[in-house]
């Protein structure tokens, strides 16, 4: 989850590459970056967020706080289908 400065929440998924490292012609290894895909984006607040935390046991349940002095409970569904 990425917290936006405009009060938005953006959920991204990192996709690992087929190979994590490759060797060049000199035999030196280099890492390969994967791809990041945005899954969802929502404007939730009029002020920036200052805190976000996923629930350790309940998948998709989170809490976030913003500078408008509100605490919000967030639920993200269908994470098990990703």
pLDDT in tens, 8-27: 999 999 999 988 888 888 88
Distance CA 76, CA 82 (A): 12
Distance CA 12, CA 41 (A): 9
Task: Return the domain boundaries, the chain.
Answer: 2-81
Name the pTM for this structure.
0.76
Alpha carbon 67 to chain centroid, angstroms = 20
pLDDT in tens, 41-71: 999 999 999 999 999 999 999 999 999 999 9
Distance CA 25, CA 36 (A): 28
Give yes or no for residue 79 having a pLDDT over 90: no
């Amino acid at each position: 989850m990425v917290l936006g400065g405009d009060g938005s929440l953006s959920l991204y998924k990192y996709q690992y590459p087929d190979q994590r490292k490759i060797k060049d012609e000199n035999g030196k290894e280099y890492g390969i970056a994967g791809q990041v895909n945005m899954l969802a984006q929502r404007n939730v607040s009029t002020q920036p967020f200052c805190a976000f935390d996923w629930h350790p046991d309940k998948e998709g349940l989170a809490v976030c706080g913003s500078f408008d002095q509100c605490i919000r409970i967030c639920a993200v569904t269908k994470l098990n289908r990703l």
